[in-house]
Amino acid sequence: MEGAKVETRKREFSGKDAGSVRKQIADAHTQEMVHRSKPCAGKVGIVQALCGTGVFLGLWFVPAMMGYNLIDQPVETLRICFALSFPVLLISYSTLRLQPEICPMWWAAFRGLLSLPVGIVAASFVGTVFGAPISYESAVKTFHWAALISALTVVPVAVVVGGSWSTWHRLFARTEPDGPLELALCLSAHCAAIGSWVGAWPMPLDWERRWQEWPVCCTYGTVGGYLLSVIFSIAWYSANRGASSEGEKKKVN
Amino acid sequence: MTLSLGKRSLCLFVYLLVLDGVAIFFFTRGFLLTRTELSVFSECSDVSNCPSCFDRSLKCHTEDQQAEDLAANRPTSGLLIDSHCTHGLDEGAKNVAAGTSKQVNDFNEGCWTLPAIKKAVILIIDALRFDFVAHSRNFNGEPKPWMDKLSILQRLVEEQNSTARIFKFIADPPTTTLQRLKGITTGGLPTFIDIGHSFGAPAIAEDNLISQLQRTGKRVVMMGDDTWMQLFPTQFSMAYPFPSYNVKDLHTVDDGVIRELFPALHRNDWDVLIGHFLGVDHVGHIFGVESPLMVEKLKQYNDVIENVATLLKNMSEPGGLLEDTLLIVMGDHGQTLNGDHGGGTPEEVETALFALSTHHNSRSSLPESLKSCEVEDPVIGCISSIPQLDFSASMSSFLGVPFPYGSVGQVNAELFDLVARDAVSSTTHVEDDTVWSKASLTLMEHYKEVLCINSWQVKRYFEAYSAVAISGFPPQDLARLTDLYSTAQNINTTERDLFCSWASSTDESSRKATRQRILDEVQKQVEAFREYLKAAAALARSQWTQFGIEWMVVGLSFLIASVVIRAAALRRLSHSGKQRWEAGLFPTKPLLINSIGASYPIIMLVVLHPLLTRTPLQPVVTYIRDNLSIVVVCVTVGASVMAYLTSSPRSFSEKKFRTLANEQKSDHRKWSWDMEVDFRSIAATVFVILHGFSLFSNSYIVAEESVINYLMASSSIVYLRYSIKARSKIVQALCFMVLVWVLPRVQTLALFKGMKAVDSSGPLYSTLASRNLLLQVILTCTTVVLPLLVVTWILRCRLGRSHYCAGRLWKTVRSGVSISYFLIGVYWIIMDLTNTEFITMDDDMMKIVRLYIPRIIYMTSVVVVLATITAVIFSWARPGVEVASSAKLLIETGASVAAGSSGTILLLMGRRGPLISMLVILEVWCFLELQAITTTSGSTDLSDAEDERKRVDKIVQSFGATADWSMVALQLFFSTGHSCAFDGLHFSAAFIGFDDFGFYQQGILLAVETFGASHLLPVFGLPVIILLGQNLLRSRGRDDERMVITEVTKGYLWFGTLRAIIAVITTASVCIQRRHLMVWGIFAPKFVFDALGFLVLDVLVILATAIFLIFRRPKQHEA
């Protein structure tokens, strides 16, 4: 999953040689557009900022207040971070759900809750394939890390999009997000995953630091990537507030 | 010059092999061979040139009777005055010397120093870990089973009035026996290149302890490891060598040593006795340190040492046979828990030295300041450490022979204290402080004198070395050393006056005070000498990894040139849809003309050398003449590289180029690099770059296996993304992911570790195999037989049924492969069942099974491969072969060679072979399936034919697949239990099917085992991947054959480029990190493995190209 999201730039390259595919996509795209009311960029930005703050506080401030830190008590800290950021993500993103007239808010939150175990299993599997140790103690750590990363990647999409396979496919396999909301979802998920991937790089170095252990540096990478994406997308929205809506119109036409 | 495309690419690959070979040779020359060996030997008489180390000693003793009293003590304590240096002594001192000459004569006359001991028994235990010797209380955690098994050593040290000590003995990497023996005896630092000679060690050309003993008439008896005989073919007065190469043989050497040792101890025909036990090393290699056999072996040694020590005690009374004998038990290097050694980790470097002196003085008279503390033992106090460098100098001084000429070690203070401590005070048994202080003074005086000679000898060597060697020591460092030396020499100007005043005074208290002052003075000088020697050793250590930078630069630039040439060839090939462009792939004429043309002037220069004397050119010419062959090679290769790179299509034919350019105007992009790349290529590039950069750090080299697995996992994610995007083959992608995870973990299963121990018959089976017979049988069936059946089924049915492999050739191959797989299964079943005593076989039967089944398998592989080649030569040349089937034939040939050689490789991989090969086949199948997605998903709107045509012209087309394939090959290398370190070589695999050591057969088997799975199979499998992956079989255009050849050549070029990049990076990192602490432990082995692997790859590519591309009839002739 992580690597699947490695390339956000994918669309730059797939665009050239896949004219017909693009056309099909555009068709499907306009169909979807018809019955979708889009939340505005400002609201997305606020939700993102809220989530980013939640994650940031959850990883650094709250554990520090309680006398924990990620390096010495990774499991506890991850648990606190998850417990703090998950409800924030769940509730704030459910205000952004698609088709709010059909889908009540509790249902959006509920499907987010449902997606969590699936995300945890998938993320644990991927983490293990990438070389996470498989002893019992490490498995507990892997589980907590997987909970955090799936809360940051899978859950928001599940809350907002729900079970629409075509949208998932479009977001994660083709990386062709549409509109500010999807861009935000896609960007933050990819950034968190890539951050985690990059976070593993210092692990083999022989510096013998505690933070090099699994899953400390990967967690830093995940959260770092996520926060970067939040900052980037907020900055981007505020910069092109006017331009983006015009562009949207052009695209539809 | 009209060569066909296939022949041209073959020429190109041969040319690249030559280029790579030259590059690696040059780099290796600069990197690995750095120390000039001086073949000068120290002579007894040399010491007459020595500065006044002795003669000024105590000129005033005759003035006082008291002085004589003291002086009388001095010679008896061991060593004092060299006979060649006594001429400065006055009459009185001579009298003193005469008075003690009776005692001195007992020790034979010393040469540089007076001997402290008459005889030495040196027992070497190969791969002796430090924790075998030191008490378990010194280590954290639970005592391990192998600790405290050499309890006699601890007992001897702990007992009252002990004259024994344990030291930590620090080896210099590379920690292989041959290197260490060289280091121990010469007192020098090892040159890395010697590791290459490990299979056929040359005799030591340098001065060394053994030669010095022989030259001074001491008789040296050796028993044990026959490596000694290779190093010292003529030096021993008597030798009992036993073969050391068969690592499975745990007992021959040890039993032989024990058999010869005790009779020899009772004889009087030796002065130094060396016993070298190999059992611990072999047990470590085969079973690991944790095996119960290790405990058994250590207990055996414990008994031997106990007997020797008792014998020593009983026979060391004055006049006894072993009077004044020193017993040393030491290791040459340590080992890791897996029994590996060769690197520079603490486990491998730290070994132990135990010394037992037969002097009866248990009290150390060494000042505290000279003691060091490595490990603080609660019972025996400090355990200090001795570098192995110091051993040779120390032993020379104890035995009274000249120090080896090239020794840079110093006589160790604590060992000196133990061996040479004053025998007089022990006999008087006076614990009086005065006596002790006197003894201390005496000892320090001696030590000072010995260090004086020692420093002089080291200084002499440094000067001689700087004069002779091409790259000597930096002048400023030498000057600093000289300063240190002269400071040390001049320090004791007051000592003699003090001594005289002490000798003339009668007042006890003032005498005591004076004595203390003398002691302080002496100590100051000793410390100055030690400082000098330490600085000298440090300088030597830093400089003897002195690299020939110029050679390294030339080698590295040739390697880079090889990468560039590959890239250029790829670029030219991507235009080779037009025939006239092929010439650019291997422009024969410019290459020949340029390279010969460039070397011509140089040869002329040398021929005309006499004419050029006294011209400014003369030094250049002289240099060239001295290194003619190298300069010519260098210039030729350099010129050919230039010629290759500058020969653009324009230079072949300007006109043709123009017309071609006009023709192609419509499709202008073909003239530039076709940068239409896909996501996979970008991902692959990122992975290659990451892998490349990781090789600059030693941590990543150590963790390279994890790095590769991580990158493989990343690329499996990329494939998963593709398959989800294409909404097909998601199962294969997931399978690929799981296999990427499983494959490297198979070999780490505890299952195979246990099994690893069973495959040798021995007392171990009782502990391991008897755990459960049923379990054992089930294990054998599931891990060996089942995977073999699956693999056979895949080969026979799946592959056979598919239309790629349906020819007669494949049928032959299939039956051959089936036979060898069947035999592998039989072999392992019989091995397991006999080891569990489920069935018993007599020795003859066992021998047939053990020796002949593997040999039959080897033979089958050879026959199958040869048959394939013959079939290719004959059947392809036959007219009437369908043209469109050339890709099919290629695939069939590749599969045949790979399948044929797989029997041997599988067997050599050991018991885990079948399981791993099954997983690999699955992985490759998934990989192949996934290739289809990634290539078809890109462009769907082009028509098939146009698509094919377009694809062939793309330079990056086969890059993604090849890069991933190269990564798979790397993963295969690591997941078959290899690593880029010398301890990662599977020596035991070389003995499957053979009991005796033969250089060539074992060398070949080891090479096949090391490079078979990771180089041979991938190289022969690459065309299959490329052709199947690109669905080229579908196309039936007129350019079919050309297209196939182009694609395959491109694939090999990409594969070679990737590996060349890795080789360049490894080489560059070794070059940059040459002063790194871990350079010999980690970087150099990595370089050797990568360089060797790269050359092996080049050779295999040539073979494969030859088989695939050459032995076919040109299409035109058929028509």
Return mean pLDDT, chain B: 76
DSSP notation for B776-788: HHHHHIIIIIHHH
- In angstroms, what CA-CA distances link B160 with B114, B156, B305, B483, B1100? 29, 9, 19, 45, 66
- Regarding whether B150 and B21 lie in a shared domain, the answer is no
B190-199 CB contacts, 8 Å cutoff, 24+ apart: B191/B32, B191/B33, B191/B34, B191/B35, B191/B37, B191/B544, B192/B32, B192/B1080, B192/B1084, B193/B28, B193/B32, B193/B33, B195/B342, B195/B982, B199/B999, B199/B1003
Task: Indicate the residue of A10, A131, A173 with minimum beta-carbon distance to B710.
Answer: A131
Rounded Cα distance between B411 and B395, Å, is: 8
A121 touches chain B (CB under 8 A): no
**Annotated domain spans of chain A:** 40-252
Does B699 contact A205 at a Cβ distance shorter than 8 Å? Answer: yes
- Mean predicted confidence (pLDDT) in B709-726: 90
Out of B421, B439, B467, pick the residue that ends a domain. Answer: B421
* Rounded percentage of chain B residues whose pLDDT exceeds 70: 74
> Residue A142 — very low, low, confident or very high, per pLDDT cuts 50/70/90?
very high
Asked if residue B1037 is part of any domain, the answer here is yes
Q: How much is the average pLDDT of B96-100?
A: 38
Q: What is the pLDDT of residues B607-627, one digit of tens each?
A: 877 777 677 777 777 777 777
- Do the Cβ atoms of A21 and B699 come within 8 Å? no
Cα(B3)–Cα(B313) distance, integer angstroms: 82
- State the pLDDT confidence band at B51, using cuts at 50, 70 and 90: low
Has residue A202 got a pLDDT over 60? yes
Cross-strand bridge partners of residue B383:
B375
Could you tell me if B725 lies within 8 Å of chain A, comparing CB atoms?
Answer: yes
Work out the percent of chain B whose per-residue pLDDT is above 90. 12
Whether residue B613 is contained in a domain is answered as no
Residue B525 three-state SS: helix
CB-nearest partner of B938 from A7, A17, A200: A17
Check pLDDT > 50 for residue A16. Answer: no
Q: CB contact, 8 Å: B692 with chain A?
A: no
* CATH number of the domain within which B259 lies: 3.40.720.10
Provide the 3-class DSSP secondary structure of residue A86. Answer: helix
User: Of B724, B748, B943, which to mutate for an interface test with A (greatest number of A Cβ within 10 Å)?
Assistant: B724
Q: B101-110, B349-358, B772-781: which has the minimum mean pLDDT? A: B101-110
* Distance in angstroms (rounded) separating the CA atoms of residues B761 and B784: 19
Beta B119-125 vs B164-170: how paired, if at all? Answer: unpaired
At B1076, the pLDDT band (50, 70, 90 cuts) reads low
Task: Choose, out of A121, A129, A168, the residue to mutate when testing the contact with B (most B CBs < 10 Å).
Answer: A129
Cβ of B676 and A16 within 8 Å?
A: yes
CA-nearest residue of chain A to B737? A129
Mean pLDDT across B367-375: 77
Residue found by looking up tokens 């060593």 in the block:
B79
Q: How confident is the model at residue A129 (pLDDT cuts 50, 70, 90)?
A: very high
Q: Give me the amino acid identity at B708.
A: I
- Region B55-78 average pLDDT: 42
Evaluate whether residue B458 is within a structural domain. no
* Window 670-689 of B, Cβ < 8 Å to A: 676-679, 682-683
First to last CA, chain B: 23
CA atoms within 13 A on the CB side of A92: 23
B23 shares a domain with B148 = no
How far B657 CA sits from the closest chain A CA (Å)?
Answer: 30
The more confidently predicted of residues B495 and B22 is B22
Verify that B12 and B124 share a domain, yes or no: no
pLDDT in tens, B624-669: 777 777 788 888 888 888 888 877 655 444 445 455 545 444 444 4
Answer left, alpha or beta for residue B90, where phi above 0 means left and psi between -120 and 50 means alpha: beta
What's the rounded Cα separation, in Å, for the pair B309 and A173?
75
Q: Which residue has the higher pLDDT, B801 or B1062?
A: B1062
Sheet with B350-357: list strands edge to edge: B238-242, B220-225, B272-277, B119-125, B325-331, B350-357, B164-170, B385-387
**pLDDT recorded at residue B644:** 84
Q: Which of B287, B291, B358, B353 is nearest to B319 (CA)?
A: B358
Q: What is the mean pLDDT of residues B764-781?
A: 61
Which tokens in the block code for residue A176?
A: 């062709």
In a domain, residue B581? The reply is no
Mean pLDDT, range B985-1000, rounded to an integer: 78
- The whole-angstrom distance between A209's CA and the closest CA on chain B is 13
- Per the domain annotation, does B167 fall within a domain? yes
Question: Averaged over B588-609, what is the pLDDT?
Answer: 80
Q: Average pLDDT for residues A58-71, to the nearest whole number?
A: 88
> Backbone dihedral region of B36: left (phi > 0), alpha (psi from -120 to 50 degrees) or beta?
beta
Q: Which one, of B414, B427, B416, lies nearest residue B381 by Cα?
A: B414
Question: In angstroms, what is the C-alpha Rg of chain B?
Answer: 35
pLDDT tens, position by position, B179-236? 788 888 988 876 655 443 444 446 777 888 998 898 888 899 999 888 888 888 888 9
Most confident stretch, B104-118, B448-462, B923-937: B448-462
Q: Which of A11, A13, A130 to mutate to test the interface with B (most CBs of B within 10 A)?
A: A130
Measured distance CA(B799)–CA(B813) in Å, rounded: 12
Are residues B18 and B130 located together in one domain of the fold? no
Q: How many CB pairs under 8 A join A and B?
A: 83
- CA B898 vs. chain centroid, Å, equals 29
Confidence of residue B77 (pLDDT cuts 50, 70, 90): very low
Please indicate if any CB of chain A lies within 8 Å of the CB of B742. Answer: no
* Cα–Cα–Cα angle for B838, B842, B848, rounded to 5 degrees: 100
Q: What six digits make up the tokens of A210?
A: 């505690």
What is the CA angle B379-B297-B251, rounded to 5? 150
pLDDT at B63: 40
Q: Please, which pLDDT band fits residue B93 given cuts at 50, 70 and 90?
A: very low
The string over B234-255, giving b where at least 16 C-beta atoms fall within 10 Å of a residue's C-beta and e elsewhere, is ebbeebbbbebbbbebbeebbe
Identify all chain B residues contacting A131, using CB atoms and an 8 Å cutoff: 706, 709-710, 713
Structural domain of B154? 118-421
pLDDT of residue B937: 42
Chain A contact set for B699 (CB, 8 A) = 204-206
> pLDDT class for B841, splitting at 50, 70, 90?
confident
Strand partners of residue B386: B169
Pick the more confident residue, A22 or A161.
Answer: A161
A236, amino acid identity = W
pLDDT at residue B188, rounded to an integer: 82
Q: Which two tokens stand for residue B830?
A: 């019989």
Structural domain contains residue B200 = yes
Of B784, B817, B788, the C-alpha closest to B800 is B817
B3 against B569, higher pLDDT: B569
Which is nearest to A36 in space by CA: A161, A159, A155?
A161
Average pLDDT over residues B264-278: 90
Last residue in a domain, options B421, B452, B478: B421
Nearest residue, CB atoms, A173 vs list B678, B721, B741: B721
Residues B741, A173: C-beta atoms closer than 8 Å: no
> Residues with Cβ < 8 Å from B701, sequence gap 6 or more?
B694, B695, B980, B1082, B1083, B1086
Final residue belonging to a domain, choices B373, B405, B421: B421
- Give the strand pairing for B381-383 and B375-377: antiparallel
Domain count, chain B: 2
| pLDDT bucket at B1056, cuts 50 / 70 / 90 | very high
Bridge partner residues of B588 (DSSP): none
pLDDT, greater one: B1079 or A64: A64
Alpha carbons B370 and B404: distance in angstroms, whole number: 24
User: Which residues on chain B are in Cβ contact (under 8 Å) with A21?
Assistant: 940
B482 domain-assigned: no
What is the ipTM metric for this complex? 0.83
Q: Is B713 on the interface with A (CB under 8 A)?
A: yes
Residue bearing the bigger pLDDT, A116 or B321: A116
Q: How do strand B325-331 and strand B119-125 relate by DSSP bridges?
A: parallel
**Cβ within 8 Å, pair B720-A2:** no
